[in-house]
Amino acid sequence: MSSETARRTSDIPEQGLPQNAIIKELEAKLQRDFTYSSGKILCSMCTNPHSFAKQIYRNYLEKNLGDPSLFPASIELEQETIRMLGSLLSNPKASGHIVSGGTEANIIALWAARNLAKKERGEVIVPVSAHYSFDKASDLLNLKLIKVKLNRRFQMDVKAAEKAITSKTVAIVGVAGSTGLGVVDSIRELSEIASAHNIYLHVDAAFGGFVLPFLKELGYKPLDFDFRLPGVCSITIDPHKMGLAPIPAGGILFRDAKMSEAISMKVPYLTGGEMKQSTLLGTRSGASAVAVWALLMHLGRAGYAAVVKRCLGLTWKLVEGIQRIDGLDIVTKPTLNVVGVKSDRIDVHLIFQELRKHGWAVSLFLDYLRVVIMPHTKPSYIKRFLEDLQRILENLRT
Ligand SMILES: Cc1ncc(COP(=O)(O)O)c(C=O)c1O
């Protein structure tokens, strides 16, 4: 038995091991993980980060945005990044932060909304399609989530949302690119309702934020979802999803700085003396923000538009292929690069299990499968996936 296998996995080695041995052990241990390069990941809203962003990230691992007077230049780059994301979302004056992901961004948004509203045991109106990070946020912030039904197009039912407003409502949440089907709620109508009732409106564009701004120039129907709509107070947009940035990189943008001040805390002990902080985390990755900055500069709008064009083109190829398979159909016509697959004849759980046996990773929802076409997906993967799916359906039918 080698010394490596004899070692209990709970022990820190008494004497350190050589780096080469550790690298070999890691390679062996991590082999079971899926890789984006295999083409088999069709379920994730994340992707293999852009190689330039990875390089930049590695260069700046020591940067800590939680200590601004030590890293003022990194903070400045974070704020430039926020302004660039702000202009992508029609408000270059937006304030905010690069955070750890969509979950943290959504928590921060509801935290600000709750503090601004100053209501006891406040309520937040969300569509039933909202990401579960809002359940976490409501639990943490002692808010009650009011979940509103969807309309026939799987969007939040706007009338039901308006009906749900009470004196305790502190926020309405609209989703621009839902987790399950990539559906975009009618943010324009939600903005009108929120403005009329003077209620905070947060838009979760964690996924759609890097797709929707490019639809018009790519010849698709544009959808209003951002700060152009006067009722929108904050937006989640995640660089580590369709932004191609290394994990962790989420974004929370507020219409103006006054909103984020509602959650600012004094930090008494930092290098530069007492300071204010309006993030959930203290120590935060500067490498994340710098990598996002670098990638926005490198790809530019045209680079991101090209990524979106490719993903949407492949999405339509997938849709056509699914509709050709007897027994399968799509749940709804996709708006973004997310496809729901359903069957009226075969239990989708069985299809899911068979796909898994063939090495494919798709997401399983209650009554449909979700396929996300991310930048790592190639046409040849879609072709193989459809061939396997066709065979699986034939076998399950017999
Ligand atoms: C719409 C939406 N919001 C928020 C999140 C949470 O993002 P994260 O996993 O980066 O915390 C997701 C995750 O897929 C999502 O789809």
DSSP per-residue codes, 32-45: GS--GGGT-B-S-S
Predicted pLDDT of residue 108: 98
Q: What is the pLDDT of residue 398?
A: 79
pLDDT in tens, 48-101: 999 999 999 999 999 999 999 999 999 999 999 999 999 999 999 999 999 999
Low-confidence ranges of the chain (pLDDT < 50): 1
How many angstroms separate the CA atoms of 33 and 181, rounded? 25
Looking at residue 10, its pLDDT comes to 85
Q: DSSP labels for 347-366?
A: -HHHHHHHHHHTT-B-EE-S
381 close to 39: Cβ distance less than 8 angstroms: yes
Partners of 26 in the β-ladder: none
The answer to whether 32 and 375 have CB atoms below 8 angstroms apart is no
SS3 (DSSP) at 381: helix
Q: Which residue among 155, 238, 241 has the greatest number of ligand 1 atoms within 8 angstroms of its CB, and so is best to mutate?
A: 238
Q: Give me 337's structure tokens.
A: 């690069």
Q: How far is the CA of 305 from the centre of ligand 1 (A)?
A: 21
Q: For ligand 1, is residue 179 a contact (CB within 6 Å)?
A: yes
- Name the β-bridge partners of 351: none
Q: How confident is the model at residue 167, as a pLDDT?
A: 97
Nearest CA to ligand 1 atom 7: 102
Atom index in ligand 1 nearest the CA of residue 241 equals 10
Q: Could you tell me the distance, in angstroms and rounded to a whole number, from the CA of residue 102 to the centre of ligand 1?
A: 5
pLDDT at 245: 98
pLDDT value at residue 1? 43
Burial letters 33-71, b for 16+ CB under 10 A, else e = eeebeebbbbbebbbebbeebbebbeebeebbbbbbebb
Task: For residue 304, give every residue at least 6 positions away whose Cβ sits within 8 Å of its Cβ, in sequence order, or none.
Answer: 210, 214, 243
8-state DSSP, 297: H
State residue 164's pLDDT score: 98
**361-365 contacts at long range (C-beta below 8 A, 24 or more positions apart):** 361/34, 361/40, 361/41, 361/42, 361/43, 361/44, 362/42, 362/43, 363/43, 365/180, 365/340
Query: Residue 19 has what pLDDT?
Result: 98
Residue 171 parent element (H or E): strand 169-175
The 10 Å Cβ neighbour count of residue 79 is 16
Contact 181 CB / ligand 1 (< 6 Å) = no
Tens of pLDDT, residues 138-173: 999 999 999 999 999 999 999 999 999 999 999 999
Q: Is the CB of 185 under 6 A from ligand 1?
A: no
Contacts of 265 (CB under 8 A, 6+ apart): 276, 277, 278
